[in-house]
Every structure is written in structure tokens, then in C-alpha cells.
């Protein structure tokens, strides 16, 4: 069976030749950019900055060479717009806390706080209050809810 036949058989509750494999074809089956970077190294694949298709979760884009190496059956089809309706040209570099080099949308405005945490500004507006924060040693962003000038809670 090829990948398409395998997935269709599973969806139709028929026995495929093996369980279809999905890694990174959706936000639910995504892989941390940091983990993907390490996986590429373990597989002996070319190391490069990991494109991030989900900024809040910092999920890495699983590329064809990884899909081939692992026999992945499912390919993600992602909207080129992000949740703020900006087009994701994944060209802006960011380095994660463990040193993983990633590429995020070039329309994303972000900054570093005194405590080392990262913040994202809504709609690329650095004059606005940050809408998300990632701790200095974190691997994903938390949405923030504001009351007046103080943070009320972090939404997780």
C-alpha cells in the first residue's frame, strides 16, 4: 500500500498493511522545533534553522527528508496566514533557550524582557502590550490576559 491507500483504509476501518504514521501534519501531531532539530541530527540529515508553523507552540515544520527517513504517511497543508491574519514568511531568526535555531514569521514582533523571557506583540505592534510570553527557559508561549496595567492570568 502507498501512504494514501494506507490512510484511507484506516479511515474506512479496514486493515492497512501497517498503522499510518503522522508526524507534524497538524497542530495535534506536531513536534517541538527543538525536538525536530535533534531528530534531524539523529537521522543524519542536514542541519538548518527549523521553520516554525505554529508560533505559540513552537512546532517545527516536518520537511520531506524527515518524512522519507521515517516513512511518514501524512503531509500537513497549512494556511499561509497565521492566527493574526498575517502571512507567514518564515524568515525571521530566533534562537530557543536550548540553542535551537528557528525561523518564525517575518511579520511577528517580539522582544526580550529583563528576566530573559520572550514576548510577542499583537499584530506586530510593539507599542501594544504583549499578547504572549515564553519564560526564559521555556519551549512554548502562553497567551496573556490583561486587566488595566497588570497581568491577571496566563491562559494555558
pLDDT greater than 90 at residue 98 = yes
Q: Report residue 86's pLDDT band, with 50, 70 and 90 as the boundaries.
A: low
H or E element that contains 6: helix 3-11
N-terminal to C-terminal alpha carbon distance within the chain = 40
H or E element that contains 34: helix 33-42
pLDDT greater than 60 at residue 156 = no
pLDDT: is 34 or 155 the higher one?
34
Q: Report residue 148's pLDDT band, with 50, 70 and 90 as the boundaries.
A: low
Give the per-residue pLDDT at 33. 97
pLDDT: is 39 or 131 the higher one?
39
User: Do residues 121 and 128 touch, judged by C-beta distance below 8 A?
Assistant: yes
Amino acid at each position: 500500500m502507498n501512504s494514501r491507500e494506507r490512510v484511507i483504509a484506516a479511515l474506512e476501518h479496514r486493515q492497512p498493511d501497517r498503522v499510518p504514521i503522522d508526524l507534524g501534519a497538524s497542530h495535534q501531531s506536531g513536534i517541538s522545533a527543538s525536538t525536530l532539530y535533534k531528530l534531524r541530527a539523529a537521522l543524519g540529515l542536514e542541519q538548518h534553522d527549523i521553520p516554525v508553523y505554529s508560533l505559540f507552540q513552537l512546532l517545527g515544520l516536518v520537511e520531506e527528508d524527515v518524512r522519507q527517513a521515517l516513512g511518514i504517511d501524512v503531509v500537513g497543508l497549512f494556511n499561509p496566514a497565521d492566527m493574526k491574519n498575517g502571512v507567514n514568511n518564515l524568515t525571521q531568526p530566533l534562537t530557543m533557550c536550548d540553542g535551537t535555531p528557528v525561523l518564525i514569521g517575518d511579520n511577528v514582533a517580539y522582544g526580550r524582557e529583563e528576566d530573559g523571557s520572550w514576548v510577542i506583540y499583537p499584530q506586530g505592534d510593539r507599542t501594544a502590550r504583549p499578547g504572549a510570553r515564553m519564560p526564559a527557559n521555556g519551549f512554548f508561549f502562553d497567551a496573556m490576559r490583561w486587566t488595566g496595567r497588570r497581568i491577571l492570568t496566563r491562559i494555558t
